Amino acid sequence: PSATAEGTRVTRSTCPYCGVGCGVLIESRGDRVVGVRGDPQHPANFGRLCTKGSTLHLTANPLRQTATRLLQPMLRTSRDTPPRPVAWDQALNHVADRLAAIIRRDGPQAVGFYVSGQLLTEDYYVFHKLARGLIGTPHIDSNSRLCMSSAVVGYKLTLGADAPPACYEDLDHADCVFIAGSNTAWAHPVLFRRLEEAKARRPQMRIIVADPRRTDTCSLADLHLALQPGTDVMLFHGLLHVMEAQGWVDREYIERHTQGYEELRELAQAYPPELVAQVCAISMGDLLTAARWLAGVPEGWPAGVPLPRDRRLRTLSLYCQGLNQSTSGTAKNASLINLHLACGQIGRPGAGPLSLTGQPNAMGGREVGAMATLFSAHRDLTDAAHRLEMARLWGLLPDAALPDRPGLTAVEMFEAAARGQIKALWIACTNPAQSMPDQATVRQALDRAELVIVQEAYQTAATCQWADVLLPATTWGEKEGTVTNSERRISRVRAAVSPPRGHTGEEPWPDWRIAAEVGRRLEARLPARSAASLFPYRSPEEVWNEHRESTRGRDLDITGLSYARLEQAPQQWPCPDTAAGGSPRLYTDGRFPTPDGKARFVAFPYEPVAEDRCQRYPYALLTGRLRDQWHGMTRTATVGGLFGHVGEPVVWMHPDDLREEGLRAGDLVRLESRRGHVVLPAMPSDEVQRRQCFVPMHWGGEYLGGASSASACMGHGINGLTLPAVCPRSRQPELKHAAVRIEPARLG
Ligand code: SF4
């Protein structure tokens, strides 16, 4: 940190909220964070911050922290007694004793880890090593399953690796930006501001938004495709159908750099514009316009004349949970990437698919492989040679086998715990008692698990209620490590202050250290799996150095990114130790990380949403973020000013539906799905289509009415209504859509 004349220290770090990954300058005095500014030198934001980022220092206010932070380890010996504070040593020994007993009795597979895209890469790395390396359980998954797993599988199937090929700078070069299933204006505000500036500089840039709602993002759109929920694959195939019929695809690129186009072309024949317009509920004219802009066909280009590559305009796609959180999540991702490949819209400035990560370090978890279906540094866990490489790197004994099959993914893990198959659940830095779909099952799982370990910074997280052991973790402003943002850029996260102390004198620890300390204790209690300890780390830098060595020779090689190098500037991977710098764009030479170097077209047919509307449940419930809140609000709820935008949970409905249901603005309604209900005020909004409604995801089951609606009740939160149906390929749940009915609430 540098110090100013007034004694204020300035520490460079990264915002802990969304995947834009903005650089921040933390101002601190003593052990108090007193301010935060955007880092003008950080290439993700060049000094800009959104409302959440610019109020970060308020979340670190010690007075607020006393009320919300978990400051000392807590333990309870039975579910009927309240947890009591204990020393770190006692808590860690207790965790190690209980885990070792369960492993000895039921085997390693009885232990499940549910971690988070808000952990730093170093935290993720140690958890992964603890789960697969030491315990030998395959069951480690992350809340990134709820966020990015469809994007991961979409990239791997089409481009050969889980690597977003484009970057933020492409906004400055794109002629068309296609935003699908993303309210970028609210969920990634700083990136949206960059898009606004690009559009102001080049008004001829075309912006298309595909979203059932007319969100704030549409304020910038030249074309809004207000498609019906879940019909994205139908739309993408329809666009390809039009491109093919008009001769707008790039035949040369398809032939030289891809495989499988013929099969996709045949599939797309089944999606003529008339059908697509009808199912998606958009006009044929809009479909044609979107196809022309996406393909990069200049105005006035004569019909039937092939378009040379150097005359083709450039298209960048931004997409997020609207595509990912779906039972067709993989198909949506792959079908959008198909369009980029078909038109050669990839591997050059201003062109490419760019998935936006919801969380600050969903990418880091994917790189480390700390997810049930992934493995270290983009290795394949079903490949014996890959497992052997990691076993050697970790120093495992020859008979200490690494799990050779995928573990249970998020929804499956909680379902297995509800059935009694998973006995111990270790939940770190995430709040499944609010964020998972089908809350009734999640709560049953937490009730039934023999041992629930919750590693958290905030005692206000609903999941803490189920903890047998609470392990207090340091959080933003207090911890060191790295994160990777949506454009593969790795930034340092730095500590500006020490964590606050609890009244017993204990204090929160960094997540990687907690996992490593339990690992060392478990090594003393379980048969040896390595000659030396797997957890010799004294600092996050030592963890980082081991992680980057594990990437040597892989597509995401970061051997060139030491902490010292990252001190100078954040870098985009790959960046091997032989490279002068990071890589802004991938596949610029048309070669992809597949056996023959060619990308693959993937032909998945359109499937409707898992739970369609019917007479009994006639509304489509859409869920999503607000501009000024973050996830379950454990952090943002401590800042009063962030409630100025939206103060309490409401259900937004089309004004005609409100009228038809005999409701007035502010009336309390009961919103009910097949799984549960909530009671909320209804508000009119013409951003929502007829027979659809929107509820923000942030309020959990603990919310019992705000100032204007004392009788509102969130039941188990909005995810008490969502369903556990998952994409069969990515296992990502359909959090974005459920069928519901709406009726006036009967009170009393
Ligand atoms: Fe933080 Fe995202 Fe806002 Fe940037 S855009 S300041 S990363 S919340």
Atom of ligand 1 nearest to the CA of 188: 5
CA of 263 to the centre of ligand 1 (A): 41
263 and 166 housed in the same domain:
yes
50 and 30 housed in the same domain:
yes
Q: Is 188 in the pocket of ligand 1 (CB under 6 A)?
A: yes
Distance (Å, whole) CA 292 – CA 605:
23
Q: Is 129 in the pocket of ligand 1 (CB under 6 A)?
A: no
CA of 714 to the centre of ligand 1 (A): 27
Atom of ligand 1 nearest to the CA of 17: 8
Q: Is 329 in the pocket of ligand 1 (CB under 6 A)?
A: no
| 316 φ, ψ (degrees, to nearest 5) | -115, 135
**What angle separates helix 384-394 from helix 540-550, to the nearest 10 degrees?**
150
Structural domain contains residue 249: yes
Of the candidates 746, 725, 735, 638, the one whose C-alpha atom is nearest the C-alpha of residue 696 is 735
Q: Is 609 in the pocket of ligand 1 (CB under 6 A)?
A: no
CA of 193 to the centre of ligand 1 (A): 11
Distance (Å, whole) CA 248 – CA 163:
27
Q: Is 586 in the pocket of ligand 1 (CB under 6 A)?
A: no
Burial of residue 520 (CB within 10 Å: 0-12, 13-18, 19+) is middle
What's the confidence (pLDDT) of residue 716? 79
Structural domain contains residue 307: yes
DSSP state of 131: I
What's the confidence (pLDDT) of residue 710? 52
453 and 349 housed in the same domain:
no
Structural domain contains residue 302: yes
Of the candidates 146, 151, 206, the one whose C-alpha atom is nearest the C-alpha of residue 179 is 206
Q: Where are the beta strands (DSSP E) in 235-385?
A: 258-259, 315-319, 352-355
The answer to whether the CB of 485 falls within 8 A of the CB of 44 is yes
Residue type, 116: S
Structural domain contains residue 676: yes
Name the residue at shortest CA distance from atom 2 of ligand 1: 18
Q: Is 19 in the pocket of ligand 1 (CB under 6 A)?
A: no
What's the confidence (pLDDT) of residue 67? 79
| 355 φ, ψ (degrees, to nearest 5) | -70, 140
400 and 464 housed in the same domain:
yes
404 and 513 housed in the same domain:
yes
15 and 94 housed in the same domain:
no
Name the residue at shortest CA distance from atom 3 of ligand 1: 50
In this structure, what CATH number is given to the domain that contains residue 19?
A: 3.30.200.210
Q: Is 117 in the pocket of ligand 1 (CB under 6 A)?
A: no
Q: Is 15 in the pocket of ligand 1 (CB under 6 A)?
A: yes
Distance (Å, whole) CA 386 – CA 24:
38
Mutate to test the pocket of ligand 1, among 26, 48, 188 (most ligand atoms within 8 A of CB): 188
In this structure, what CATH number is given to the domain that contains residue 181?
A: 3.40.228.10
258 and 314 housed in the same domain:
yes
In this structure, what CATH number is given to the domain that contains residue 115?
A: 3.40.50.740
**Residue ending a domain, choose from 302, 324, 356:** 356
426 and 521 housed in the same domain:
yes
3-class secondary structure per residue, 535-594: CCCCCHHHHHHHHHHHCCCCCCCCCCCCHHHHHHCCEECCCCCCCCCCCCCCCCCCCCCC
| Backbone angle region of 638, left / alpha / beta, with phi > 0 → left and psi within -120 to 50 → alpha | alpha
CA of 383 to the centre of ligand 1 (A): 38
Distance (Å, whole) CA 683 – CA 681:
7
522 and 633 housed in the same domain:
no
Residues in the chain: 748
State the Cα angle at 120 between 421 and 378, rounded to 5°.
70
What's the confidence (pLDDT) of residue 731? 96
Structural domain contains residue 545: no
Residue 461 is part of which domain span?
A: 74-147+362-473+508-537
Atom of ligand 1 nearest to the CA of 48: 6
174 and 299 housed in the same domain:
yes
For the chain (748 residues), the mean pLDDT of every run of 10, in chain order, is 78 97 96 96 98 94 77 93 96 98 98 97 98 98 96 98 98 98 98 98 98 98 98 98 97 98 98 98 98 96 89 98 97 98 98 96 96 97 97 97 97 98 98 92 96 94 94 96 98 96 94 98 98 98 98 97 96 95 96 98 98 97 94 88 92 97 96 94 97 93 56 77 96 96 85
252 and 320 housed in the same domain:
yes
- The percent of the chain in helix, strand and coil, each rounded to the nearest 5, is 35, 20, 45
**Residue ending a domain, choose from 68, 97, 118:** 68
Distance (Å, whole) CA 445 – CA 420:
8
167 and 258 housed in the same domain:
yes
Structural domain contains residue 562: no
Name the residue at shortest CA distance from atom 4 of ligand 1: 22
Q: Is 49 in the pocket of ligand 1 (CB under 6 A)?
A: yes
**Residue ending a domain, choose from 334, 356, 378:** 356
Structural domain contains residue 366: yes
Distance (Å, whole) CA 383 – CA 405:
9
**Tokens in use for 340?**
């980029």
What's the total number of domains in the chain? 4
Structural domain contains residue 712: yes
**Tokens in use for 219?**
């304020």
Q: Predicted ipTM?
A: 1.00
Q: Is 189 in the pocket of ligand 1 (CB under 6 A)?
A: yes
In this structure, what CATH number is given to the domain that contains residue 645?
A: 2.40.40.20
Reported pTM = 0.96
**Tokens in use for 198?**
């690009």
Q: Is 52 in the pocket of ligand 1 (CB under 6 A)?
A: yes
